[in-house]
Structure 1
Amino acid sequence: MRGRRVDLINVALPEELLEEVLLRVGGAKRDLDACALVCRRWRRLERGTRRSAKLPASGAGANELARLVAETFSALVDVRVDERLSAGTGPGLVAVPPPGSRRRRVSGSTSARRRRMSRSRWLFPSDQTANGDGIEGNFFTDVGLTNLAEGCKGLEKLSLKWCTNITSTGLVRISENCKNLTSLDIEACYIGDPGLVAIGEGCKRLNNLNLNYVEGATDEGLIGLIKNCGPSLISLGVTICAWMTDASLRAVGSHCPKLKILSLEAEHVKNEGVISVAKGCPLLKSLKLQCVGAGDEALEAIGSYCSFLESFCLNNFERFTDRSLSSIAKGCKNLTDLVLSDCQLLTDKSLEFVARSCKKIARIKINGCQNMETAALEHIGRWCPGLLELSLIYCPRIRDSAFLELGRGCSLLRSLHLVDCSRISDDAICHIAQGCKNLTELSIRRGYEIGDKALISVAKNCKSLKVLTLQFCERVSDTGLSAIAEGCSLQKLNLCGCQLITDDGLTAIARGCPDLIFLDIGVLQIIGDMALAEIGEGCPQLKEIALSHCPEVTDVGLGHLVRGCLQLQVCHMVYCKRITSTGVATVVSSCPRLKKLFVEEAKVSERTRRRAGPVLAFLCTGI
């Protein structure tokens, strides 16, 4: 858009209308960057419309980068700072030169290299330049948080993940400058009580608060925050915070009447705290609890006072019995989602109570509840016709006959996940396939008794299947896979560890599933280049492939794969002994959309490293 046309657009469009256009671009960083490159006017207006940014919490000049971003994009309302992002490589990272800086045109073969070096000096100055301190210059500290607070006064959402060098001082600056803050997410940060109290006093509009593994704080800090922000809080999450006791939950019950979402994981919370929340927060819709000190009395209070509850998750409860679920079933008729994890004292009676009373139940996940047997699922099949999703993880007592009732009664079922259910065989999957013809996702992991018979039935009956996972299902062979290819147009397929699969099976998939976007064929010992060539020719939409631990795959097969899969973004190829640095270079040079490549460091040449450093992910090979 150069020359006369862009001049006509600039003359015809007032700034207000152009800003509205930029706001409707969609928010993708690549698209916004493209708009900013049209001309100086577009760049200025685009900077004024940028709303979100991700920043690194580590790397040289992290604080200085925060200052530059705040100065350049003053309209930011959503900022995420994450230690897992490194300076210069984080996805979605806002990276701009400071105002007033100018790039000098460089000619010759080294121009690109000099431009990269110039950008590095702009964005990531040396530690000494940024702060005069070698340690602070390598981490995001209170200085960087202050820069954000003072430069982005309209900030509404702030996320701090593993920012271990910030303290209460940084949060005090946020509270002083960002009065419109509505969401605060803090994970693995050493934040003391003064910081939490300051947020409560300064950010009266806060409605979403998440504290995960926050050290340095006590009940005093959270109580101080809740007393001020409680009336506006809608969502609260406190997990893995060893300091939390019933005192904090009493404050929640007293000051948070609008609370709808609560996620709580605490060792020292007992019945009193949960009962206080139940009585004071009757509008709760989503509740996730992991409190080893609480018992049946706590859940009886939830059932008595929280009639609007829709999503309920119990994790690792040692004192809850069937009495608890009976109370929930009687009082929470609107329940749609139920998750039970490692609740050892619950039996089939619990699910019978829920199935008979909660007619709206749509999603159930049972993980490690070893006392639940076949009867539990039979109750679900008889009384829950609206069931959409079912996950069973390590349920060794459930047998095939349970799925006969599920197939008969849950015809709307769309997603089924089975992990480590050792007594489930082909017959169970056949019952589901024959009765649940709307199934779109089937995930089976370590299903050692499940083979081709099950897949043939799924292919015949479940024509809408889009996602299929068969991890370490060692009885599955090319016969079942060919049936799936003929009957279902898959988008995602995971065959990791299915040792009987050969090139023939993958060829059938490549020819029958042209819309495939994800494929995991890791640990398949006998597939080779022919399979990759067929996938490259038949699956042009493929975005992610995992072929680690495939000893017969070579550079030739990789060449055929990437020649056809131009949309490839992620590739895992660790421990493929016949793939060399040439194959790695082929993938890097042939995949313009590549975002991440997992490979051994020894197989990456210096040229490839220079060309695609940010997308490379090295795994330890010395183990």
Structure 2
Amino acid sequence: MRGADLINAALPDELLDDVIRRVGAGGGGAKRDLDACALVCRRWRRLERASRRSARLAASGDRADEVLRLVAERFTALAEVSVDERLTAASGSGSATRPYRSGMERGPYRAGMIHMPNQIRRRRRLPLASNLTLKISPFPLDQPVGDQGSERSCLTDVGLGHLARGCRGLEKLSLVWCSAISSTGLVRIAENCKKLTSLDLQACFIGNPGLIAIGEGCKLLRKLNLRFVEGTTDEGLIGLVKNCGQSLVSLAVANCQWLTDASLHAVGSHCPNLEILSVESDRVQSVGIISIAKGCRQLKTLKLQCIGAGDDALDAVGSFCPLLEILSLNNFEGFTDRSLTSIAKGCKNLTDLVLNECHLLTDRSLEFVARSCKKLARLKISGCQNMESVALEHIGRWCPGLLELSLIFCPRIQNSAFLEIGRGCSLLRTLYLVDCSRISDSALSHIAQGCKNLTELSIRHGYEVGDKALMSIAENCKSLRELTLQFCERVSDAGLSAIAENCPLHKLNLCGCQLITDSGLTAIARGCPDLVFLDISVLRIISDIALAEIGDGCPKLKEIALSHCPEVTNVGLEHLVRGCLQLESCQMVYCRRITSSGVATIVSGCTRLKKLLVEEWKVSERTRRRAGPVLSFLCTGL
């Protein structure tokens, strides 16, 4: 019957709440559908608010504490809260006059309100989608970020207290770069949020009492991030793990000057269930790592950057951590092949290995890894200058499950290594080659012929790589979707045309490939209609013809970089924006023939634009007023 409420009278709160949650899980249109649900009546709005589980706040500004209070009062069921001061701080850089807002976040705004679609923004009651992230910026849009100066404040312990009292069911809390909070705020969290399982304090200045209180009050804590945390000492971490170490599964302590072996000894003594550990410290010695290895035998992921540690530390890891799957060793100066050999003998389940700036390692240790760790799927070698071709030959012979291979500044590795990789690693999907000066077309041909499942290929500064390699890739690797050829000066239109004909690329980076002309880009535009990312910076001979073809052939393009393209003009930009209606990011610095008119063309023609990098002097006042939040300026005055 018209005007009768047939739903509310029949459905109890529990059933209606379940309906709203199912609507929220409905996929791409869930946000719009939930907004509509919340506008039905006050009861529906109340239930929709009660179902919200996560919130993300950019909490810098003079109303940060008030915003957090309002959020905690209105959305009491919040289980995940992320507060990141970098969000508004970043938007204020580069002379942008307003905080960055994307998609639905454009339009009239007041601090503490929820951003809504245009068609319902005028309504007084503001619904939220329960399964989507809430983004709140406490800056009024009519007040420029850059003008706030010293009056701008940050989230403090007061706001954290509001959150603790309002959201007692909080399970995950992330406080990133929240420089104004202290132990007082953490004590409030510890007193009220007993269900806390994850705590991220990256770059917060927290004292010992706060960490100790978390340990005493949050016995369910499983994940703790203390990257760049200052203001505390070993006492704080030791006090925490003594109280809740049994539940701790993941711990990251990086770039903290206070961290010593005493903390690691406490972790090893009180955290028997630890599975993930990341440690970066100049003060940690071998004894600390040995304590971890002996006490945390459930370790599956270990990431270390400890200059003072030596072979004894990794010997212990190999002896006591048989479940280890992911190992990352960075900037180690004191360990040799002996250490990695111990790892290979003891950690048979190793799937991921990162060796970064480990100068004393040679082919011998990687041979032991290849023979012992048959499950190896991802290998990254960076700056290990003593590694030669023999090391990779062993990987090719003994690791048939290899999926990703990354070689960065490995000048001694030659083409012969890739013959074995091509023969033995047929499942390889991702290959990164950066500053590997001896690798040429022959190496890439071996990869193409043997690794036909390749989906991503990235070559940077491949001065010996040319069209022969690309033709072989195009002929054999039909699944290739991402291709990077930065400063590969031998690549020309012929190789690029072969790729365009056979590989429907989604991402393409041609920065610095000087031989590429309009003809090559025309082939890409006509052969890769699903392209979403394109970097054609430092292509000095391309013209407006290339941009016109891209505009016609790549309607899904979202990001483009065309800096240092001296022949591109405003006319080419007009053709580009006419066809690429999805464009969100554009970089075009040092394009001498692009003027303020071209900048205005991009701003007016790309309604989804989120970032535009350009010289500041090319931006007119009208464009600045219209697109302040999306503008980023290159500093040319240095």
1:576 CA displacement: 2.0
**Alignment deviations for residues 584-612 of structure 1 (CA, whole Å, 9 cap, x no partner):** 23222322322222222333333333333
Distance 2:184 2:103 in 1: 27
RMSD between aligned residues: 2.7
Answering whether residue 34 of structure 2 is matched by residue 35 of structure 1, we say yes
Residue aligning to 2:272: 257
Residue aligning to 1:544: 559
Between 172-181 and 345-354, report the one with greater CA deviation: 172-181
1:619 CA displacement: 2.5
**Alignment deviations for residues 95-137 of structure 1 (CA, whole Å, 9 cap, x no partner):** 87769xxxxxxxxxxx9xxxxxxxxx995479xxxxxx99675
Distance verdict in 2 for CA 1:605–1:15, change over 3 Å: farther
Task: State the one-letter code of the partner of 1:89.
Answer: Y
Match for residue 19 of structure 1 among 17, 20, 39? 17
For these two proteins, the number of residue pairs brought into alignment is 596
Residue aligning to 2:190: 175
Residue aligning to 1:342: 357
Aligned residues of 2:111 and 2:139 also touching (Cα < 8 A): no
Between 547-556 and 371-380, report the one with greater CA deviation: 547-556
Contiguous gaps of at least 5 residues in structure 1: 100-110, 112-120, 127-132
Distance 2:103 2:81 in 1: 11
Distance 1:53 1:435 in 2: 47
1:74 CA displacement: 2.2
Between 27-36 and 193-202, report the one with greater CA deviation: 27-36
Alignment of 1:65-144 (within 5 A): 65-86=67-88, 88-89=99-100, 123-124=138-139, 138-144=153-159
Task: State the one-letter code of the partner of 1:585.
Answer: A
Aligned residues of 2:415 and 2:438 also touching (Cα < 8 A): yes
**Alignment deviations for residues 30-56 of structure 1 (CA, whole Å, 9 cap, x no partner):** 953663354444443332222222222
Distance verdict in 2 for CA 1:320–1:123, change over 3 Å: closer
Residue aligning to 2:215: 200
Aligned residues of 2:88 and 2:137 also touching (Cα < 8 A): no
Structure 1 residue matching 2:328: 3-state secondary structure: strand
Residue aligning to 2:379: 364
Distance verdict in 2 for CA 1:238–1:505, change over 3 Å: same
Answering whether residue 150 of structure 2 is matched by residue 152 of structure 1, we say no
Structure 2 residue matching 1:187: 3-state secondary structure: coil
Aligned residues of 1:29 and 1:92 also touching (Cα < 8 A): no
Match for residue 468 of structure 2 among 429, 441, 453? 453
Residue aligning to 1:608: 623
Structure 1 residue matching 2:246: 3-state secondary structure: helix
Distance 1:335 1:490 in 2: 32
Aligned residues of 1:333 and 1:358 also touching (Cα < 8 A): yes
Task: State the one-letter code of the partner of 2:573.
Answer: L
Distance 2:151 2:326 in 1: 43
Distance 1:93 1:82 in 2: 20
Aligned residues of 1:499 and 1:523 also touching (Cα < 8 A): yes
Distance 2:477 2:64 in 1: 51
Distance 1:39 1:614 in 2: 33
Distance 1:92 1:504 in 2: 35
Between 45-54 and 336-345, report the one with greater CA deviation: 45-54
Distance verdict in 2 for CA 1:591–1:93, change over 3 Å: closer
Match for residue 165 of structure 1 among 180, 191, 203? 180
Structure 1 residue matching 2:443: 3-state secondary structure: helix
Give the TM-score, by structure 2 length: 0.88
1:69 CA displacement: 1.9
Task: State the one-letter code of the partner of 2:69.
Answer: R
Aligned residues of 1:286 and 1:311 also touching (Cα < 8 A): yes
Distance 2:222 2:175 in 1: 17
Distance verdict in 2 for CA 1:31–1:563, change over 3 Å: farther
Distance 1:13 1:573 in 2: 57
Distance verdict in 2 for CA 1:11–1:241, change over 3 Å: same
**Alignment deviations for residues 310-347 of structure 1 (CA, whole Å, 9 cap, x no partner):** 11110011111000011111111111100000001100
Distance 1:448 1:236 in 2: 42
Distance verdict in 2 for CA 1:603–1:35, change over 3 Å: farther
Answering whether residue 335 of structure 2 is matched by residue 324 of structure 1, we say no
Residue aligning to 1:103: none
Distance 1:283 1:207 in 2: 14
Residue aligning to 1:55: 57
Task: State the one-letter code of the partner of 2:266.
Answer: A
Match for residue 45 of structure 1 among 41, 44, 47? 47
Between 25-34 and 561-570, report the one with greater CA deviation: 25-34
Structure 1 residue matching 2:158: 3-state secondary structure: helix
Distance 2:226 2:190 in 1: 17
Task: State the one-letter code of the partner of 1:230.
Answer: G
1:573 CA displacement: 1.8
Identity of aligned residues (%): 72
Distance 1:280 1:6 in 2: 67
Distance 1:326 1:360 in 2: 16
Give the TM-score, by structure 1 length: 0.90
Distance 2:456 2:507 in 1: 9
Structure 1 residue matching 2:613: 3-state secondary structure: strand
Residue aligning to 1:64: 66
Q: Answer 1 or 2: higher relative contact order, Cα 8 Å, separation at least 6.
A: 2
**Alignment deviations for residues 146-205 of structure 1 (CA, whole Å, 9 cap, x no partner):** 222222222211111211111111111111121111111111111111111111111111
Answering whether residue 395 of structure 2 is matched by residue 380 of structure 1, we say yes
1:61 CA displacement: 1.8
Distance verdict in 2 for CA 1:69–1:616, change over 3 Å: farther
Distance verdict in 2 for CA 1:92–1:72, change over 3 Å: farther
Distance 1:307 1:420 in 2: 35
Match for residue 238 of structure 2 among 218, 223, 239? 223
Aligned residues of 2:522 and 2:550 also touching (Cα < 8 A): yes
Structure 2 residue matching 1:232: 3-state secondary structure: coil
Structure 2 residue matching 1:284: 3-state secondary structure: coil
Task: State the one-letter code of the partner of 1:321.
Answer: T
Aligned residues of 2:209 and 2:236 also touching (Cα < 8 A): yes
Alignment of 1:392-431 (within 5 A): 392-431=407-446
**Alignment deviations for residues 384-440 of structure 1 (CA, whole Å, 9 cap, x no partner):** 111111000000000111111111111111110000001111111111111111111
Distance verdict in 2 for CA 1:64–1:456, change over 3 Å: same
1:14 CA displacement: 5.2
Distance 1:560 1:93 in 2: 27
Task: State the one-letter code of the partner of 1:466.
Answer: R
Distance verdict in 2 for CA 1:548–1:13, change over 3 Å: farther
Residue aligning to 2:368: 353
Distance 2:218 2:28 in 1: 29
Distance 1:275 1:232 in 2: 21
Distance 1:5 1:497 in 2: 67
Residue aligning to 1:485: 500
Distance 1:309 1:91 in 2: 41
Alignment of 1:475-554 (within 5 A): 475-554=490-569
Between 532-541 and 341-350, report the one with greater CA deviation: 532-541
Distance 2:240 2:304 in 1: 21
**Alignment deviations for residues 348-393 of structure 1 (CA, whole Å, 9 cap, x no partner):** 0111000001111111000000010111111111111111110000
Aligned residues of 2:465 and 2:488 also touching (Cα < 8 A): yes
Structure 2 residue matching 1:241: 3-state secondary structure: coil
1:84 CA displacement: 1.4
Task: State the one-letter code of the partner of 2:177.
Answer: W
Between 258-267 and 133-142, report the one with greater CA deviation: 133-142
Residue aligning to 1:117: none
